[in-house]
Structure 1
Amino acid sequence: MWWDVNLLTLFRRNLQPTITYWSVFFSFGLCIAFLGPTLLDLRCQTHSSLQDITWVFFAQQFCLLVGSTLGGTFKKSLKLCLFILFICSLTISLVFAIIPFCEHVGVLAMVMAVAGLAMGSIDTISNMQLVKIYQQDSAVFLQVLHFFVGFGALLSPLIADPFLSDTNCIQSNETLNGSSNLEHIRNSIVPHHPVNVSHYVLPLKGPVLTNVSYAFWIMAAINLPVPVAVFLLMYQKGMVPGCGRRRGSLLSADELAMETQKEAEIYDEKNPEIHEEYSYKEGHGVHLLCCQSKRFGNAPYTFFAIHACSAVILFMTDGIVGEYSGFVYTYAVEEPLSLAHKTAGYLPSLFWACITLGRLISIPVSYKVPPRTMLFFNLVGMSASFLFLLLSQNSILSLFIGTASLGLFLSSVFPSMLAYTEDLLSYKGCATTVLVTAAGMGEMVLQILVGMVMQTQGSHSFLVFGVSLSILALSLFVMLLVLDNIHPIGASGKTPEPGSDPDRYQQ
């Protein structure tokens, strides 16, 4: 049978929370991809320059990092996690509804900063809760989770496209450079790198004619069922004040796990000497270390090394996703390829389409293939794709083939790395915050770095940079495999949960 009976039973028992976390990640994807296509219309709405409006990207991304870090602090309480998810998903709908009324770039940046906080919290909490529910079986469900963010990221530009202005949305009698080809300017805008649009000058004064507000209101309406789904889950768990619901006699899997964990923590407090010995020998100190930060001496050096290797790998791979999608158009329109603007504009779309397709393919594959094996093939394929692009850099066909290949191999790196790292650390959810934050930092920092390198060294440095990062990521993964073999809790990481074996805690 393709689907394991025990896994199917576990999925059925946790059907409502699983679908809720997936839907919340759809909100995350919906919000993360709309800004690029709509930025020129938002520039008109706020009467701001291109250099000023591109800093809205920074406000969103920086607060996304802050939200990712804050999301990890809610790990201990399921009630608080669901409440935060409800507020964040509702906030995203409110942000979509409010954006058309932001007539100053500073106000727009503040609104996008709030959206970034909500997105970051969603990113960490949703990943963390799925890991806690499914543990060693979490890989396939994480793949589905990240498919939904890709689906949302594909949908929002499609919704916005019919409402984008075909001509300059600020009506002016001035004739200025760059105003004749808005599609080229849209494709040239790169997040966190305003220098690349400094040579475009567009009018700042005049009546505004844009219909992009309808796109935001449509996205706000599409997202509204998501906070409703989170509210229903809170109601089903009996967490809505004044709306008590009688619970059944059987606990769900995650509730049972929480009860077991509470019992183990109470026992640990009463028997600290037994807890300390068990922490050192069996890895229970991992939970204490990352969640309470009291006993760093009990953790082996491999604990820190695993976090560092995994975080740096995701820093580079997610950074590659951001910098490649942002600069592949710029690379294609410059020498030696000198592609037409319209043809080069298909490259970012092809890249994101292949990422979404790859995530869809990874769902059944991750059920049969361990995360460690998937990561190895992904990182080798990513390096091979960049080498192929570098060796055939004068071929237009090779650029399209390499872009599609790179998107497919990069698609499942994050969920596979998250599942593998949590596997090494006994599924405590501790690594999730570190990995999510590192991935977000990579996406922001590497775009700035690549933009600076391309500006000073030329467009050829774009592929050289990618090859270097991909080979370095693969080398770090080999180091992670070595750490897997020498880490005290073993390669599988599937140590008994505290409280699951009463004899272990008997004096």
Structure 2
Amino acid sequence: MWWDESLLVLFKRNLQPTLTYWSVFFSFGLCIAFLGPTLLDLRCQTHSSLQDITWVFFSQQFCLLVGSTLGGVLKKSLKLCLFILFISSLIISLVFVIIPFCQHVGLLALVMAVAGLAMGSIDTISNMQLVKIYQQDSAVFLQVLHFFVGFGALLSPLIVDPFLSDTNCIQSNNTQNKSMNLEHIRNTINPHHPGNVSHYVLPLDGPVLTNVSYAFWIMAAINLPVPIAVFLMMYKKGVVPGCGHRTGSLLSEDELAMETQKENEIIDSHVPETQPQEEHKEGKGYGVSWHCCQSKTFWNAPYTFFAIHVCSAAILFMSDGIVGEYSGFVYTYAVEEPLSLAHKTAGYLPSLFWASITLGRLISIPVSYKVPPRSMLFINLIGVVVTFLFLLLSQKSTAGLFIGTAFLGLFLSSVFPSMLAYTEDTLNYKGCATTVLVTAAGTGEMVLQILVGTVIQTQGSYSFLVCGVSLSILALTLYVALLVLDNMHPRLSEDSTCKTPELGRDADPYQQ
């Protein structure tokens, strides 16, 4: 087998929670990718303009960032985490059911804002819990987690495609016999740059002919097993009110991390199984969750501790921003000079990009077991820079654009899970970095689309690749700085991984 026996034992021991977190992340992917393809049909349903309906994107993305932060603040205990995951996954199914009944754009934006809060909570909590369960072995499991979000994001457009309107779904006397390339409009719409649709004028009044409601109800049914899986996990842990079944104790995150660390040490034969639990009560690191900012050791931490957080967050800001801006504007770049591709041909580029990301995450699952996150990140970021340079040099080649798009998706696919695993490894797997990294990645995806969209609008389509080269080189430079910080960051000695009586309860382990 491609992984060792100890990892298999650990996986079997945590089989139910691991599968549950993976399934919840599938819900996240399912919900994040349906809005773009269905936006024109939702515009008809709400009788709104293109400029108005694109703000639904903003409400979802902004509340996703808020949910990511709240997920980090509220993850005080495993019991609370499971409750939040159950409510969030259930909300996603309810959102799919409710969307067809939203007849006003404001109501639709409110529903998508609630969905964004649920998605953000799922993003932070699932990443954090897997890191805490598997610690130094978390990289491979994080790769699987992010494969599921890619799989969900790839599946939802396939579900909705048969139900999308082929003609203008609002029938009026002025447009009933007028042919319009709706596929071109769908690919041109960018969630964070509403100005790029201002020249399209579509009717607002008239009978609505759309079957997209069936797609939402199908996705609601597909997602329904996910909250059921979370509920079963809650029942097993004794969280469900009025149910006495309890096969394991509910631990706080500190205790969960301590117990997982002890199990890993037992499996790896680093310490005897009979080692007293008291020796682990003050494990290494600066605390967890929002308690990070309240512990004395947090404020006494070396400057490299804070610099690593900032540098890692900035890298994910750039990398996820590249994902957002490339998927959002590659179609617009392709249909304009010098390529001037046909609309149908250019429409394959975003799908190819997301398919490559999903394939890359699948490939990264076995690779991440053999290759450490530090090396994977270096290969990925170098690959992103080289791919953008290739795209820039072959800007007049259609084949070059398709090849470059595929390789760019492959190299970007595993940056986030690898960065999360590497940063938590450097900071001793206490979960403090997860909320920061998740929020930074989401912010980059939103902000860089706005910035790059503005540059393209003012400087022309050529600037699309120039922005990509600049952002990828900046991300690689920041990664080199992160490696320097990693080498400068003080490491706890083997003896200091457990608090000794001489150090005392409130002593700073870096001041020995």
2:285 is matched with which residue? 284
CA 1:13–1:261 in structure 2 vs 1: closer, same or farther (change >3 Å)? closer
Map of 1:7-406 to 2, 5 A cutoff? 7-175=7-175, 180-247=180-247, 257=256, 284-285=285-286, 287=288, 291-295=292-296, 296-406=298-408
Residue type of the partner of 2:488? I
Contact 1:378 1:412 in 2 (8 A): yes
Q: Report the CA distance between 1:283 and its aligned residue.
A: 5.6
Query: Which structure 2 residue ranges, 5 or more long, are not aligned?
Result: 263-280, 508-512
Looking at structure 2, the residues matched to 61 and 502 of structure 1 have their Cα atoms a distance apart, in angstroms, of 48
State the SS of the aligned residue for 1:285: coil
Looking at structure 1, the residues matched to 14 and 252 of structure 2 have their Cα atoms a distance apart, in angstroms, of 7
Indicate which of 402, 412, 415 corresponds to 2:414: 412
Looking at structure 1, the residues matched to 474 and 293 of structure 2 have their Cα atoms a distance apart, in angstroms, of 33
Contact 2:286 2:292 in 1 (8 A): no
Residue type of the partner of 2:99? I
CA 1:244–1:405 in structure 2 vs 1: closer, same or farther (change >3 Å)? same
Contact 1:133 1:253 in 2 (8 A): no
Contact 1:86 1:230 in 2 (8 A): yes
- For normalisation by structure 1, the TM-score amounts to 0.91
Map of 1:470-481 to 2, 5 A cutoff? 470-481=472-483
CA 1:413–1:314 in structure 2 vs 1: closer, same or farther (change >3 Å)? same
Residue type of the partner of 1:185? I
Residue type of the partner of 1:293? Q
Contact 1:13 1:252 in 2 (8 A): no
1:292-321, CA deviations, whole angstroms, 9 ceiling, x for partnerless residues?
434354110001100000000000000000
1:267 is matched with which residue? none
CA 1:205–1:22 in structure 2 vs 1: closer, same or farther (change >3 Å)? same
CA 1:50–1:246 in structure 2 vs 1: closer, same or farther (change >3 Å)? closer
Residue type of the partner of 1:228? I
Residue type of the partner of 1:350? L
Looking at structure 1, the residues matched to 109 and 120 of structure 2 have their Cα atoms a distance apart, in angstroms, of 16
Looking at structure 2, the residues matched to 372 and 297 of structure 1 have their Cα atoms a distance apart, in angstroms, of 27
Contact 1:96 1:220 in 2 (8 A): yes
Looking at structure 2, the residues matched to 178 and 29 of structure 1 have their Cα atoms a distance apart, in angstroms, of 36
Residue type of the partner of 2:408? L
Q: Report the CA distance between 1:489 and its aligned residue.
A: 1.8
Q: Report the CA distance between 1:238 and its aligned residue.
A: 1.2
Contact 2:68 2:435 in 1 (8 A): yes
Contact 1:178 1:201 in 2 (8 A): no
1:321-340, CA deviations, whole angstroms, 9 ceiling, x for partnerless residues?
00000000000000000000
Residue 462 of structure 2 is aligned to residue 463 of structure 1: no
1:389-434, CA deviations, whole angstroms, 9 ceiling, x for partnerless residues?
0011111110000000000000000000000000010000000000
Looking at structure 1, the residues matched to 30 and 253 of structure 2 have their Cα atoms a distance apart, in angstroms, of 28
Residue type of the partner of 2:87? I
CA 1:403–1:427 in structure 2 vs 1: closer, same or farther (change >3 Å)? same
CA 1:61–1:38 in structure 2 vs 1: closer, same or farther (change >3 Å)? same
- For normalisation by structure 2, the TM-score amounts to 0.90
Q: Report the CA distance between 1:2 and its aligned residue.
A: 1.4
- Which structure 1 residue ranges, 4+ long, deviate > 3 Å from structure 2? 175-179, 250-263, 282-290, 294-297, 493-499, 501-507
Residue type of the partner of 1:312? A
Residue type of the partner of 1:174? N
Q: Percent identity?
A: 79
1:201-250, CA deviations, whole angstroms, 9 ceiling, x for partnerless residues?
000000000000000000000000000000000111111111111426x9
Contact 2:72 2:290 in 1 (8 A): no
Contact 1:286 1:299 in 2 (8 A): no
State the SS of the aligned residue for 1:170: coil
Residue type of the partner of 1:291? C
Contact 2:193 2:449 in 1 (8 A): yes
Contact 2:96 2:220 in 1 (8 A): yes
Q: Report the CA distance between 1:73 and its aligned residue.
A: 1.2
Looking at structure 1, the residues matched to 495 and 426 of structure 2 have their Cα atoms a distance apart, in angstroms, of 10
Contact 2:140 2:368 in 1 (8 A): yes
Q: Report the CA distance between 1:349 and its aligned residue.
A: 0.3
2:274 is matched with which residue? none
1:423-469, CA deviations, whole angstroms, 9 ceiling, x for partnerless residues?
01000000000000000000000001111000000000000000000
2:276 is matched with which residue? none
Contact 1:176 1:202 in 2 (8 A): no
Looking at structure 1, the residues matched to 434 and 428 of structure 2 have their Cα atoms a distance apart, in angstroms, of 12
Aligned-residue RMSD, C-alpha: 2.6
Map of 1:442-461 to 2, 5 A cutoff? 442-461=444-463
Q: Report the CA distance between 1:476 and its aligned residue.
A: 0.4
State the SS of the aligned residue for 1:210: coil
Question: After alignment, is 171-180 or 68-77 more displaced?
Answer: 171-180
Residue type of the partner of 2:442? G
1:131-178, CA deviations, whole angstroms, 9 ceiling, x for partnerless residues?
000000000000000000000000100000000000000001114999
1:66-102, CA deviations, whole angstroms, 9 ceiling, x for partnerless residues?
0000000123300000000000000000000000000
Query: Which structure 1 residue ranges, 5 or more long, are not aligned?
Result: 264-277
Looking at structure 1, the residues matched to 316 and 3 of structure 2 have their Cα atoms a distance apart, in angstroms, of 29
Looking at structure 2, the residues matched to 246 and 464 of structure 1 have their Cα atoms a distance apart, in angstroms, of 57
Looking at structure 1, the residues matched to 68 and 164 of structure 2 have their Cα atoms a distance apart, in angstroms, of 31
State the SS of the aligned residue for 1:442: helix
State the SS of the aligned residue for 2:235: helix
Looking at structure 1, the residues matched to 9 and 455 of structure 2 have their Cα atoms a distance apart, in angstroms, of 52
Looking at structure 2, the residues matched to 454 and 32 of structure 1 have their Cα atoms a distance apart, in angstroms, of 25
Question: After alignment, is 18-27 or 169-178 more displaced?
Answer: 169-178
Residue type of the partner of 1:328? V
